[in-house]
Structure 1
Amino acid sequence: MRITIDTDICIGAGQCALTAPGVFTQDDDGFSALLPGREDGAGDPLVREAARACPVQAITVTDD
């Protein structure tokens, strides 16, 4: 699994960090970011739910 965040459309709603806090966080400007070493989701079952919760669909989850 690979997770990408389109920082050009992220509005910093934080739904991803609330849904899957073991994978997502917010940077100093309030925008979504992946925790270091979590680019593959680290097996977190809530990653796809976090992507669906994004109000602007800035998160993409793809299977390798």
Structure 2
Amino acid sequence: MRIRIEKGACVGNARCAAVSKELYVLDDDGYIDTEGFDVPEGMEKLAKYGARACPEKIIYVEEDDGTISWPLKKPA
């Protein structure tokens, strides 16, 4: 699993880091400090919780098969 982040769209809510400071590292100004990372084995649930905590929905959960499981697509 991989996490992709639209770093430039981060507004500094820091809710992702409140869920996991290990995975969602912030810079000195409180904004996300990465554009993404591979999720370490055993930390998948925590990574998903952190992504879902973002009110801006700029954190994407990319599954091993390449599909995006978060944020959910709205029906057409």
Query: Given the two structures, how large is their TM-score scaled by the length of structure 1?
Result: 0.80
- CA-to-aligned-CA distance 1:10-53 (integer Å, 9 cap, x gap): 1111111110222111112321134xxx8112131211011110
Match of 2:62 in 1: 62
In structure 1, what residue type is equivalent to 2:9? Answer: I
Query: Separation in 1 of the partners of 2:13 and 2:29?
Result: 12
Runs of 5+ consecutive residues of structure 1 not aligned to the other structure: none
- Structure 1 residue 8, shift from structure 2 partner: 2.2
In structure 2, what residue type is equivalent to 1:42? Answer: P
Runs of 5+ consecutive residues of structure 2 not aligned to the other structure: 65-76
Tell me which moved more, 47-56 or 16-25.
Answer: 16-25
Query: Given the two structures, how large is their TM-score scaled by the length of structure 2?
Result: 0.69
Aligned residues: CA RMSD: 1.7
Higher relative contact order (CA 8 A, sep 6+): 1
- Identity fraction in percent: 36
Which has the greater radius of gyration?
2
Stretches of 4+ aligned residues off by more than 2 angstroms: none
Q: How many residues end up aligned between the 2 structures?
A: 61
Query: Separation in 2 of the partners of 1:28 and 1:22?
Result: 15
